[in-house]
Amino acid sequence: MKRIVIFASGSGSNAENLIKFFHNSDRASVIQVLTNNPHAKVLNRCKNLNVSALSFNRIAFSKSEDVLNILIAAQPDLIVLAGFLWKFPEFILNQFSKKVINVHPALLPKYGGKGMYGMNVHKAVVANKETDTGITIHYVNENYDEGAIIFQAKCNVLPTDSAEDVARKIHLLEIEHFPKVVNQLLNE
């Protein structure tokens, strides 16, 4: 059975979607969710779905080996960032080479980098009058949003679309594609 650990910072809708997707799978399951936000809604979602969830602070994540030791004990086959906003420390990436992926709400390399997440991305897409946008699932490296691209999916941006409209379209792409790509990676 393949083991998935998810990192999330906010509401956890993508985490919940992944948990539900793998719930009855005989090949993989989400064994733990970790968050840097002790008030994140993802903690309640995990409680309702009977999935172990822990919150941690910046020291435990990047200044000590606390989170690394949790991951080593969990032995994940894949670490999935689903709305996780902190840069991953190199010492964790080195321990789990080619096992950390992220979903980004734009077609990288456009609209990536520090501070480019969530509504910040969607507002920039609308402000720049883009005609399409999408999601990028990519490996995580030491730089924000610069890891090798695994998968992209596009959607149209209409001239009348608001940032909220774009956010809804992106969320539908994430819900549809993210679990399938995670499943495919686990089967490689």
Domain boundaries, the chain: 2-186
Distance from C-alpha of 29 to C-alpha of 19, rounded to nearest angstrom: 7
Phi, psi values for residue 143, rounded to 5°: -115, 145
Q: What is the pLDDT of residue 9?
A: 95
Distance from C-alpha of 100 to C-alpha of 80, rounded to nearest angstrom: 6
- In the CATH scheme, what architecture does the domain 2-186 have? 3-Layer(aba) Sandwich (3.40)
Q: What is the pLDDT of residue 150?
A: 98
The pTM of this model reads 0.96
Q: What is the pLDDT of residue 188?
A: 83
Phi, psi values for residue 147, rounded to 5°: -70, 165
Q: What is the pLDDT of residue 62?
A: 95
Distance from C-alpha of 57 to C-alpha of 94, rounded to nearest angstrom: 21
pLDDT, tens digit only, all 188 positions of the chain: 999 999 999 999 999 999 999 999 999 999 999 999 999 999 999 999 999 999 999 999 999 999 999 999 999 999 999 999 999 999 999 999 999 999 999 999 999 999 999 999 999 999 999 999 999 999 999 999 999 999 999 999 999 999 999 999 999 999 999 999 999 999 98
Distance from C-alpha of 114 to C-alpha of 24, rounded to nearest angstrom: 36
Provide the terminal-to-terminal Cα distance of the chain, rounded to the nearest Å. Answer: 14
